[in-house]
Amino acid sequence: MKILKVAVALGLATSLSGCLSEDNTDVDVVSMARTLLTEVNDEGVAPLAFADIDPSSTATMTGVIGARFLESAPEGEDTGLGFGGQLSMVADFGEETVSGSTSNLGVYGYSSGCLTEGECETTRLSSLDGDLTLVGAITSKDSVAGFDATLNGLVSGDVTLFEDDYAFSAAVNLDTNDDETGGLFLQDEDGRLFAQSGLTGGTVAVIEDENGNAFPFMQDLEGYMIVEGDVVASVPE
């Protein structure tokens, strides 16, 4: 595992998700993200061998996703825009598929320190309507269980930038990517399962001002996902 890479990549997810709006105070995504990071980096967590998978089993997993718009940060500065939220995923080892969806998505502005130090000032600019859907396949990567998937969908919301209000919408398309190996499954000594991956890709976003003027642009995205859950073997009929 690239522990430093994990910490830096999810610095946005953990930091952005901490500033929840009043209508989302029942979900503390930042605590969830930090807990998962601590647990997945524990000495007892190791990659899951593909040969050890029970083909009759499935796993229901929950966690977080965070991504930043690369071009929203001024050159040389660790500031910009991104989004974060929760991710639910099901791994079906019999069908060798993964599927899932997001919830509690929001657009955030972040300040210096998010990506380099993992701690920074963040502001939740808006909630996002819509959903991102995860679809992919479970694979064997050098005898280790992994997955290749895409996360895409349409999201929209109102956002305030530089004291002006805008309507925001985006068609998001992200691919799992961890040093070109895709996502990986890991397991702790108690049998609890983790899945993690970097996310890369692009989004076609449109910001519309109060006069109805639309400003479309393609943004590259960089992010991270991490989920955890329990493996459940099917009971023969």
- The secondary structure element, H or E, covering residue 36 is helix 29-40
pLDDT on residue 25: 37
Contact 198, 9 (CB under 8 A): yes
Residues of the chain with pLDDT under 50: 1-26, 235-237
pLDDT on residue 177: 75
According to DSSP, residue 178 is labeled S
Interval 120-133: pLDDT, tens = 666 777 788 998 99
pTM for the structure as a whole: 0.81
pLDDT on residue 29: 63
Contacts of 108 (CB under 8 A, 6+ apart): 16, 17, 19, 81, 82, 83, 84, 122, 123, 124, 125
